[in-house]
């Protein structure tokens, strides 16, 4: 891979050498590599995102579509790393390069470490501001993204969850109950927007002052804005700080108030409940799919196997939410 990457970097930056090529830990469905390229202009810190041995959900974007989404988001002043080059074939798998920014994205560190206390205080409003910019991108500028055809976004999302559950080929009563409740309590419709699809702590790069960039756009699509607004409420994305419903860093109300002020919407916290339940179902299914990637030999990984066991936590959370809701 180093030789093929060298040629691409020479075309991008001119003659030089790869000073470092290091695979990074994490990355649930994609390979992540830190690349340092030294040319006559100096050292270029880069991030290489390369396809893995499988995907979490069947609706996952190709890396080409994700790269185009990054370009579009940057053009609309969303805080994202600068996309640099799409590589259709890097040793048999597609990949792309983008700038590598300093900062922290590991959720457990962001929500707990004292040096990020100031960032945590600022994150709820900053998250609302980035989502407002994302949801303002005209859907017609992203014809390459999946979109609902003939059905409201909530119904499409629910049908996809049913298909993912059926594909597992094994019973999961709590997930099935959650899906049944969702089907019997449909939300009111909202106009579709460009949705990030995985907007949460863990996919946000922060430093000690606040939010730097929105990462991991592989699930972007045209859908309901409440999907993005409720996803960071899923308990798994609080990383143990369960008392702070918004991703372990704050409360829902200031986040939603700021979003409404910027978008002119009139959303209330109660509207997010349906999508929070769906979020727990979807991540439960995602965790089980990750384990299947390991068990089927698509990508052998202890991390993927462990994720499968976490599905029980989402099942418990679904039961808790529905019991509390009455």
Question: Cα–Cα distance between 193 and 183 in angstroms, integer?
Answer: 22
For 8-35, the three-class secondary structure string (H helix, E strand, C coil) is: HHHHHHCCEEEEEEEECCCCCCEEEEEE
Q: What is the pLDDT of residue 300?
A: 75
| pLDDT per residue as tens, the chain (326 positions) | 899 999 999 999 999 999 999 999 766 678 999 999 999 989 999 999 999 766 666 778 999 999 999 999 999 999 999 999 999 999 999 999 999 999 999 999 999 999 999 999 999 999 999 999 999 999 999 999 999 988 999 999 999 999 999 988 889 999 999 999 999 999 999 999 999 999 999 999 999 999 999 999 999 999 999 999 999 999 999 999 999 999 999 999 999 999 999 999 999 999 999 999 999 999 999 888 887 776 667 667 777 777 778 889 999 999 999 999 86
Q: How is 29-68 classified by DSSP, letter by letter?
A: SEEEEEEEEEETTEEEEEEEEEE-S--SSTTPPPHHHHHH
Residue 279 tokens read as 């979020």
Runs of H (alpha helix) within the chain:
2-13, 63-75, 107-112, 117-135, 153-168, 173-184, 225-230, 252-263, 273-295, 302-309, 311-325
> What one-character DSSP code corresponds to residue 188?
P
Report yes or no: 214 and 199 within 8 Å, Cβ to Cβ: yes
Q: What sign for the dihedral angle of Cα 311, 313, 315, 321?
A: negative
CATH of domain 2-99: 3.30.200.20
Length of the chain as a residue count: 326
Q: What is the pLDDT of residue 88?
A: 96
Question: Cα–Cα distance between 250 and 204 in angstroms, integer?
Answer: 15
Q: 2-99 and 107-325 share one CATH topology?
A: no
Q: What is the pLDDT of residue 57?
A: 66
| Domain 107-325: homologous superfamily in CATH | Aminoglycoside phosphotransferase (APH), C-terminal lobe (3.90.1200.10)
Report yes or no: 119 and 211 within 8 Å, Cβ to Cβ: yes
Domain ranges of the chain: 2-99, 107-325
């Amino acid at each position: 891979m180093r030789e093929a990457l060298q040629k691409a970097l020479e075309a991008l930056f001119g003659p030089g050498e790869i000073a470092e090529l290091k695979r990074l830990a994490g990355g649930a469905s994609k390979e992540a590599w830190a690349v340092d390229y030294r040319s006559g202009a100096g050292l270029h810190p880069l991030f290489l995102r390369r396809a893995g041995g499988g995907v979490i959900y069947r609706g996952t974007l190709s890396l080409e579509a994700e790269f185009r989404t990054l370009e579009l988001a940057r053009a609309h002043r969303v805080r994202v790393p600068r996309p640099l080059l799409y590589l259709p074939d890097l040793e048999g798998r597609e990949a792309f390069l983008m700038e590598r920014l300093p900062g922290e994205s590991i959720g457990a560190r962001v929500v707990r470490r004292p040096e990020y206390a100031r960032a945590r205080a600022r994150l709820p409003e900053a998250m609302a501001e980035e989502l407002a910019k994302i949801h303002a991108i005209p859907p017609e500028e992203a014809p390459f993204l999946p979109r609902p055809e003939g059905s409201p976004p909530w119904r499409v999302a629910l049908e996809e969850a049913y298909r993912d559950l059926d594909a597992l080929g094994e019973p999961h009563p709590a997930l099935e109950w959650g899906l049944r409740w969702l089907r019997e309590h449909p939300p009111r419709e909202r106009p579709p927007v460009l949705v990030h699809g995985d907007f949460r702590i863990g996919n946000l790069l922060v430093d000690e002052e606040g939010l730097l960039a929105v990462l991991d756009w592989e699930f972007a699509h045209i859908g309901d804005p409440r999907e993005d607004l409720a996803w960071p409420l899923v308990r798994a994305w609080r990383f143990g700080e369960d008392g702070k419903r918004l991703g372990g860093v704050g409360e829902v109300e200031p986040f939603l108030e700021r979003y409404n002020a910027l978008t002119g919407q009139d959303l209330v916290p109660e509207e997010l409940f349906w999508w929070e339940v769906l979020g727990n179902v979807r991540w439960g299914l995602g965790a089980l799919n990750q384990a299947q990637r390991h068990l089927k030999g698509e990508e052998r990984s202890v991390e993927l196997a462990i994720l499968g066991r976490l599905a029980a936590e989402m099942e418990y959370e679904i039961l808790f939410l529905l019991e509390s809701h009455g």
